[in-house]
Amino acid sequence: MIHIKRSLAIVLALSCAGLNAGPAPWYKWRSKIDNYLSCSQTPLGPGWVKDSGPYKDSRCEKLVLAK
């Protein structure tokens, strides 16, 4: 019985931790080859460097304000 309560408490604690998660930020990435800019949440590969961000939207227009 104690193991069931403990297991239930662990499952509830882990599921509640995910409720505070927000969307991943977006960044502008610049190509090392032709300086082309692209907006992505993840790195595009070794030929790209982070140019600016983070942004709230997928068009990289709304900057995330620092808290």
Give the whole-angstrom CA distance, residue 42 versus residue 49: 11
pLDDT value at 8 more than 70:
yes
Average pLDDT, the chain: 87
User: Which two tokens mark 39?
Assistant: 């907006």
Domain that holds residue 65: 23-67
Give the whole-angstrom CA distance, residue 12 versus residue 32: 46
pLDDT value at 33 more than 90:
yes
Number of structural domains in the chain: 1
User: Cis omega before residue 54 (within 30°)?
Assistant: yes
11 within domain boundaries: no
2 within domain boundaries: no
Closest listed residue to residue 64, CA positions, set 43, 41, 38: 41
Give the pLDDT score at 2. Answer: 74
* Residue bearing the bigger pLDDT, 55 or 67: 55
Q: Please give the model's pTM, rounded to 2 decimal places.
A: 0.66
pLDDT value at 13 more than 80:
no
51 within domain boundaries: yes
Give the whole-angstrom CA distance, residue 7 versus residue 12: 9
